[in-house]
Amino acid sequence: MAGYPASVRIREVGPRDGFQNEPEVIATADKVRLIEMLVASGLKRIEVTSFVRPDVIPQLADGAAVLAALERPEDVAFSVLIPNERGLDNALRERERFDEISVFLSASETHNRKNVNRSIAESLDGLERVITTAIAEGLRCEGVIATSFGCPYEGEVSPERVLGIAERLAAAGCAEIGFGDTTGMANPLQVDGFFTGMRSQLGAEGPAGPELTAHFHNTRGQGLANAVAALGQGIDSFESSFGELGGCPVPAGSTGNIASEDLVSMLHEMGIETGIDLEALLAASRAVQDVLGRPLGAHLLSAGPVDWEPGGVGG
């Protein structure tokens, strides 16, 4: 379709970003089974866990066990979220079982302190050391900037501040920069202007520039609209979560990521390729819904895919 990318890459973050927000611990065997279903759907990038302190996020205390139990196909990249140097040291014990790391910080001082108890400057100093070590180990690095589109504590976050952080992460060696709408504050007009600036100023259109990834939350129902706005600016890399799992630990009320199945369905209806089997992805979402024992927010879990065949359900 004119004006939009012909194909899109999707990183599934549900096994990390989604699971970490669930109050009841999910069995390791269930996590492994669900990740294998996601792999079977055709997803090529999956964030499988995080090496955070188990007393902080008990849900992910079995990260090493999950990685050890997974078979990693050659054409699928597993990534892990790394909070700091100690987390990287722990992850490197499983080095042969994953391909990429994500590091993160917020563009808002207040959110960053509430989330990781550090200033932005302190976070950047530590993450630059993490990135240097990870690259030396042959790992691809993504730098994720939370609250890129607004902060629930500080309100507006200037694109210039986000750009400055992105430039530091890219200079440190991040091959990919992810921009997170962490609490669902973005709107499509804002997203359009944001990525117009980021693409030109970060050199994303050239061979030396980092890949730019959009990470939207559906807190206020604008997640897919924001994704379309990003597509219009040539963004062809997204992060999403099956079943619309996820959220943000701070503040309360920050609901899930855009649902992977809703995103894939929309892209397919727009004629944009993803390489993902939508029915297989829906099967994974139904399975996680069964594991959690409650309805999830993804629209396709209720409505199902669009049926254009004669005799299908009409509007």
Active site residue 248: yes
Q: Tokens 């014990």 belong to which residue? A: 93
Return the structure tokens found at 314. Answer: 């009409």
The answer, yes or no, to whether the previous bond of 159 is cis (omega within 30 of 0) is no
Q: Tokens 């694109």 belong to which residue? A: 159
Task: Name the catalytic one among 141, 151, 174, 248.
Answer: 248
Pairing mode of beta strands 45-50, 77-81? parallel
271: left (phi over 0), alpha (psi -120 to 50) or beta: left
Annotated catalytic residues are: 248
